[in-house]
Chains A and B, each alone.
Chain A
Amino acid sequence: MLKDELIANNPLGVFKKAANGNDAPPRMGLVISRPGLGKTAILVQIALDNMLHDRQVMHISVGQNIGKTKSWYDDIMADIATGASQEEIMAVKDEISRNRMIMTFNAATFNRPKLEERLNDLIQQDIFKPVCLVIDGLDFAKIDRRLLEDMRDMQRASKLSIWFSAVIHRETPGEIADLDLFDTVLSLDPDDQGDGKIFLNTIKDSTGCVEEGKIMRLDPTSMVVWG
């Protein structure tokens, strides 16, 4: 079945199981890169992996609208399901789209109390129970450490996984001062040879799923991780 295939083929699935075979604990994750390399695509692939497992994901987009965010999912789905018939793709999409809710904020209005209020609202009314949040588009240069600490407290208390994306402008991840708040940090790096290849580099993982330094490859046009 297409769904099982998609689950099996997702290289980002490595973050599900620790080396000792236990299920990985929920984490604070971060994907960093220079602009335009495909951070959103990585977050979407992480989200899709959850959705395919029937786990609900809240996609929080700061600054991008619902339609655009939704089309990221449609595009990535089409790319990872190459070879499947349109009908099959539609069927899987129908099935898993219930596992996703998109919440968009503009930068100024995003904060922990508001997010928590929304989440509690959804959970209490039994509308939506995410196990994973992906938060895309937060400007790390403008937010202060307090917000990230807040988010980490919330993550620890709620046992959700939260994945962020952040833009860096220089080659070095040192630009982001708050790496210590994250369990896992991935960085997207263009190939030095300048031949358009992009790598996904595991800079840090304290959950024991992936060895630090593990490198995965990305298809530079679809931004899908190959493995």
Chain B
Amino acid sequence: MKRDLEKVRNIGISAHIDSGKTTLTERILFYTDKIHAIHEVRGKDGVGATMDSMELEKERGITIQSAATYCNWDGYDVNIIDTPGHVDFTIEVERALRVLDGAVLILCSVGGVQSQSITVNRQMTRYKVPRIVFINKCDRTGANPDRVTGQIREKLKLNAVPMQIPIGLEGDLVGVVDLVKMRAIYYEGDNGEIIREDDIPVELQAQADEKREELLDAASMFSDDLMESILDGGDVPTDLIMSAVRRGTLALEMVPVFIGSAYKNKGVQALLDSVISYLPAPKEIENIALDLNNNEEEKVLSNDPDAPLVCLAFKLEDGRYGQLTYVRTYQGTLQKGDVIINNRTGKKVKIGRLVRMHSNEMEEIDVAGPGDIVALFGVDCASGDTFTSADICMSMSSMHVPAPVISLAIKPVDNKTSDNMSKALNRFTKEDPTFRTFVDHETGDTIVSGMGELHLEVYIERMKREYDAEVVAGAPQVAYRETITKKAEFNYTHKKQTGGSGQFGRVGGYMEPLEEGEYEFVDKIVGGVIPREFISSCDKGFTASLNKGALAGFPVTGVRCVINDGASHSVDSSDVAFQLAAKGAFKEGYFKAGPVLMEPIMKVVVEGPTEFQGGIMGSINQRRGMIIGTLEEGDYTVIESEVPLSEMFGYSTVLRSLTQGKAEFTMEFARYNPVPKGIVDDVIAEIKKRRDKK
């Protein structure tokens, strides 16, 4: 059967913590008839919402993984991709954003636009994701959707256009007025499942007329037909309005705003209708892949089921059904029994079972076409891998993986735990390339590193819960790095003559800064002065040296090592001898190559009342921060800055006391910069002191 691609919606639901994402998702799944009881998120009945399948997520009330859940509304296939809201999980957010075609941004009618919404909104803008807004919790005391709409315009800089007005607010909320149809809609029955349409209540008529006028004004910007129809007077056809709003939304020039209460079952079905009406079908979105056979040239994917396959593995899950890999297809068709290629590893994979994940069951399917989101069984890969058919070689992501900026040591509480811990680490590093781990050979500690404190905390909790691996974690440390700034030569001989057979190897060449990437090894040996079999020993020796820079013991990155000279001995040369020679050569060259200590710099955005602007800027300045700019609107200020991560520990407390809790900040990794000359010695001394203490 040919699928109708028009009838697919891949959407994300995104929100600041506690705005009601879980509740809303649960309600959506209920109305789409997939689950038959509504559980409260932290319900008394002990049954959690369906989406947050991970225990930990339930406990913290935040959703970390981007699980995809299928449901059906009005004949449309809807895949809900869960987008994590916290900046510490940037890579997962960005991966989810590649997979979805449109998004619902939930805002709380009382809390309004909060810091995470700002960050997520920024990312959505970057990835050109059309979005609609749902102002939730309109049943709460203090609910003020108008105020929130104002904030969307001011803080998110979106052209927010209300599509509804509430009938009753706070405790009296019973329904909404639909400004397109100009009808009142009431949600009745125990679960709001009975929808009753009626005339607009008289007392709301004037307000509805006014808001309708605004809606028509805004929508007519996107449709000449609508404009004409309005000028002609008389009734404006509903479908003209809807198609204009749709056009504006897809062009990212308008954001329709809906209201309701997920908890009180108001407005959820209308929101679902709007997802269908205003968010894009897969083929309305341009997706780009990089052609690996052609210098990573960008190629627009076709949405054609008969084109060569391109799909992205965006999530791995090790759960109740065994190992699952979630993939989204962009073009071509995925079929049971097909052989596909993982373009990162070059490995062939045969597709066994293909399933579609409903909220509480899975459905076996045979094929998946463009725009589909399905799960595969037993496919060995990492999150972010691209699979294609054998005739092409493309990747969805040259998406660069940010370097970890923070690390800490973990120790298993006992031996039994140690095994489980490695299993967990193995899994997590596959799922999340920003989460890394290695063993510090000097201390024997296992070190994990990632994008922020919370990022690491969450994985530590997951180890305990999912793998029964309890660990003791050390204090978080900034992940400094070392690099070199100029070219330097080396020529080192390793010689040892003790008793029996000796060790001999000489390695000559140079090292130089590498503009992009972490390390490169170049073999320019001619005439076999270093025998073939020992070339890789040199590489190994250099690689080993990279783990711990001689400046302060941090990993060295951005180095190209070139060997072009050397000597060997027919008896005494060996793999070990050349590894040691390369290590010696590295050390010799390193200090001549102007090594510097690099620190992670974070982009920090603080927002708060203007009266605190001076104090906030002072606090950034004290932290070696650089203020890039300020934005002042009325009595509200946004300050953009760049601050070294090492100076940011405890900043939330400082900011809170500085601004009586009225300011918030977000932080994301920007880049690595050299530690300023004036303080580098102090920093190194401090690091060494901390190490010695251990």
User: Is residue A94 within 8 Å, beta carbon to beta carbon, of the partner chain?
Assistant: yes
CB pair A70 B632 closer than 8 Å: no
Query: B613 near A104 (CB under 8 angstroms)?
Result: no
CA distance A205 to B634 in the complex (A): 37
Per the 8 Å Cβ criterion, residues 613-661 of B in contact with A are 613-614, 617-618, 621, 626-634, 640
Quick check: is A74 within 8 A (CB to CB) of the other chain? no
Q: Which of B613, B626, B631 contacts A121 (CB 8 A)?
A: B613
Taking a contact as CB atoms under 8 Å apart, the answer to whether A101 and B629 are in contact is: yes
A102 contacts the other chain (CB 8 A): yes
Assess the B618–A104 pair: CB atoms within 8 A. Answer: no
Contact residue among A70, A94, A127 (Cβ-Cβ distance under 8 Å from B627): A127
- The distance in angstroms between the C-alpha atoms of A126 and B627, with both chains bound, is 13
Q: Is the beta-carbon distance between B621 and A66 smaller than 8 angstroms?
A: no
B515 within 8 A of A: yes
Return the contact of B618 from the options A59, A70, A125 (Cβ within 8 A): A125
Is B673 located at the chain interface by the 8 A CB criterion?
yes
B579-620 residues with Cβ-Cβ distance < 8 A to A are 613-614, 617-618
* CB-CB nearest in chain A for B625: A127
Decide if A122 is an interface residue (CB 8 Å cutoff): yes
Q: Return chain A residues, CB-CB under 8 Å to B632.
A: 103-106, 109
B residues 333-348 near A (Cβ < 8 Å) are none
Q: Say how far B609's CB is from chain A's closest CB, in angstroms.
A: 14
Residues of chain A within 8 A of B640, CB atoms compared: 66
Q: How far is the CA of A126 from the CA of B515 in the complex (A)?
A: 36
| A102 touches which of B157, B515, B614, B630 (Cβ 8 Å) | B630
Q: How far is the CA of A122 from the CA of B629 in the complex (A)?
A: 12
List residues of chain A with CB within 8 A of the CB of B614. Answer: 121-122, 125
A140 within 8 A of B: no
A65-76 near B? 1/0 per residue, CB < 8 Å: 110011000000
Q: Which of B515, B628, B629 has the most CB of A within 10 A?
A: B629
Q: Chain B binding site: helix, strand, loop or mixed by DSSP?
A: strand
A residues less than 8 Å from B617 (CB atoms): 121-122, 125, 127
Question: What number of A residues sit within 8 Å (CB to CB) of B?
Answer: 24
| A70 engages B629 (CB within 8 Å) | yes
Q: Count B interface residues, CB 8 Å.
A: 18
Residue A87 CB within 8 A of the other chain: yes
Are B630 and A104 interface neighbours, CB within 8 A?
A: yes
List residues of B (497-547) whose CB comes within 8 Å of A's CBs.
Answer: 515
A118 contact set on B, CB distance < 8 A: 613, 630
Looking at the assembled complex, report how far the CB atom of B643 sits from the nearest CB atom of chain A, in whole angstroms: 13
Which one of A69, A86, A106, A121 lies within 8 Å of B629 (CB-CB)?
A69
Is the Cβ of B633 less than 8 Å from the Cβ of A109? Answer: yes
Cross-chain contact B633 with A103 (CB below 8 angstroms): no
Q: Are A103 and B613 in contact (CB under 8 A)?
A: no
Is A97 an interface residue, CB under 8 A from the partner? Answer: yes
B68 CB to nearest chain A CB (Å):
32
Give complex CA distance A65, B629 in Å.
Answer: 9
In angstroms, how far is the closest chain B Cβ from the Cβ of A204? 31
Query: Closest approach, in angstroms, between the C-beta of B264 and any C-beta of chain A?
Result: 37
Question: Contacts A87-B515, A106-B633 hold; do A98 and B626 have CB atoms under 8 A apart?
Answer: yes
**Which residues of chain B are within 8 angstroms of A128 by Cβ–Cβ distance?**
627
One digit per residue, 1 when the CB lies within 8 angstroms of any chain A CB and 0 when it does not, for chain B 669-684 equals 0000100000000000
Specify the chain B residue showing the minimal Cβ separation from A101.
B627
- Cβ-neighbour of B673 out of A94, A102, A105 (below 8 A): A94
Instruction: Tell which of B618, B626, B631, B633 touches A97, judged by Cβ atoms closer than 8 Å.
Output: B626
Complex: A103 Cα to B349 Cα, angstroms:
55
Taking CB as reference atom, which chain B residue is nearest A117? B614
19 further A-B contacts with Cβ under 8 Å, apart from A66-B631, A102-B629, A109-B634, are: A59-B629, A65-B631, A66-B640, A70-B629, A87-B515, A98-B626, A101-B630, A102-B630, A103-B632, A104-B629, A105-B632, A106-B633, A109-B632, A109-B633, A118-B630, A121-B617, A122-B614, A125-B617, A125-B618
Residues of B within 8 A of A (CB): 157, 515, 613-614, 617-618, 621, 626-634, 640, 673
Question: What are 24 A-B pairs at a CB distance below 8 A?
Answer: A66-B628, A66-B629, A66-B640, A70-B628, A86-B515, A87-B515, A97-B626, A97-B628, A101-B627, A101-B629, A102-B628, A102-B629, A103-B629, A104-B629, A104-B630, A106-B632, A106-B633, A109-B633, A118-B613, A121-B613, A122-B614, A122-B617, A125-B617, A127-B627
List 7 tightest A-B contacts by C-beta distance, closest first. Answer: A102-B629, A66-B629, A121-B614, A127-B621, A104-B631, A125-B618, A103-B630
